[in-house]
Amino acid sequence: STYSLAFKTSQADDKSINNMPSLLFAESNSIQSLVSDAKKLYIASNFENNKDIGNDEDLICTVAPGRVNLIGEHTDYTGGFVFPMAIDFSIVCVGKGNISTTESIGKCQVISANSKDPQVITFESSKSMKPLPTTSPNSWTNYVAGVVDRYMQEIEDGNCSISLQLAINGNVPLGSGLSSSAALEVSIATFIERIFQKEFPKKNFGGATQKALRCQKAENVFCNSPCGIMDQYVSAAAQRDSALLIDCRNLEYQIVKMGGGKSSNRNNQNDGAKKGTNPVFVICNSNVTHSIGGGEYPVRVAQCSEATKLLQNLIGDEKIKSLRDAALNDIESAKKKRNSQGDVLMDDLIYRRAKHVVTENERTQKAKSALIDGDWVEFGKLMNASHQSMKIDYEVSCEEIDILVELAQSYPGVYGSRLTGGGFGGCTVTLVDKTDVEGLCHYLKTEYKSRTGKECSCFESQPGDGAREILLT
């Protein structure tokens, strides 16, 4: 076809490069299993026959990982610094799709192996898409539809649409704080970009940064979640064996190799730590679920906004564009200020919220140097301080998470432990010597069950790859 599509210009020139396609046999066993089950589900599902969407030989597979944030929590939506890495837990999409250049309405059919009763769900793609009500049993498809909508909005031609037939399968624990929603969004986005590039090979979507921005917007609008950019960004841009230090203001990131520097700085935190060994991260799921779109999360966003406005009024909006610009002495000074009636301008609650953000940004930047140098003791201290700040100042922890952190911090060979993710449940991340992983996991499971009556699950993780296509043949 000689028809060409016109796309809106990207907001920024993103020089980042998407990960190259990988061969299925080169993937981990868990990814291979997800792909195999998704392919079986696709074949078994009753998708409508659509000759325009391709044959079964044309199946495409994409994958995007969940993430664990090593440090830098609740700083992304204030333009601060975050320090996540991708994990092997992922979401895969297997199916077909096409871009119509003659129809303004497309048909998207999706089925998820993770649903209690997997069924094909259909929605239309157009320039005027709307999310399903949150009360709908199929509202999870808003994560898919929101991403489709973002790409539809970027097509300037009126008579164009996106059609999909997708089987989705994932092993990122839902509500665990490991970003299952971002993994789904980024896997969908990678799939859509793949079918666009099949039809229009010269189309440049702007790389990982622009993909992450589209997915963030999709979740903000279609899922009513005021999430920041971190989850989608690391899922799109991660690289194996590295964490990403992300500047959430200018959306630049640095690839940080774990222990890539001075091994002589690998000291002991306690008698159980082995000098010179390479530690790993252990993620422990408390099985206390949370929902990032409701409850206290939007309240924290509003409280940070209030703190920012107070500081801008006192210091000036030229210096304070967001809480990322504030120093600890700025908020200490603001806490002491009173208005003409003698009332404090920044009450204790807003002060503590701002204090967490300011100090967490400082800890995150220090953590980068510690990780590069292999200074595990320093990195662990920063993790511990981060958890204390989230528990006391930001108040996003819970009893079960605090128990897991307390247990981990007391175990020989552990350097540090903290809540990871949005909070109110979810997971902890612990830096521990590799030789102590098995013992730590057994200890956490046994003691957590004894103290809470709940089960927890633990797994070791190394930094993994970001979103990519998997070649099925």
The residues annotated as belonging to the active site are: 231
What angle, 0 to 180 degrees and rounded to 10, lies between the N-to-C axes of helices 328-336 and 348-373? 170
What angle, 0 to 180 degrees and rounded to 10, lies between the N-to-C axes of helices 180-199 and 207-222? 120
Q: Report the number of secondary-structure helices (H) and strands (E) in the chain.
A: 11, 13
Distance between CA 109 and CA 47 in Å, rounded? 7
Asked whether 229 and 341 are in contact (CB, 8 A), the reply is no
Closest among 393, 463, 394, 405 to 429, alpha carbons compared:
405
Longest distance between any two alpha carbons in the chain, whole Å: 74
7 Cβ neighbours under 8 A, 6+ residues apart: 154, 155, 156, 203
Distance between CA 405 and CA 454 in Å, rounded? 15
- Burial code of 178-187, b = ≥16 C-beta within 10 A, e = fewer? bbbbbbbbbb
Burial of 451 (0-12, 13-18, 19+ CB in 10 A): middle
Report helix, strand or coil for 364: helix
Asked whether 68 and 464 are in contact (CB, 8 A), the reply is no
The pair of three-digit structure tokens given for residue 196, joined into one six-digit string: 């666009």
284 Cβ neighbours under 8 A, 6+ residues apart: 404, 408, 427, 428, 429, 430, 441, 444, 456, 457, 458
Q: Are β-strands 252-257 and 121-125 bridged in parallel, bridged antiparallel, or unpaired?
A: unpaired
Residue type, 346: M
Q: What are the two backbone dihedrals, phi and then psi, of residue 459, each rounded to the nearest 5 degrees?
A: -150, 150
The 8-class DSSP code of residue 47 comes to: P
Q: What are the two backbone dihedrals, phi and then psi, of residue 458, each rounded to the nearest 5 degrees?
A: -130, 145
The pair of three-digit structure tokens given for residue 45, joined into one six-digit string: 């599902």
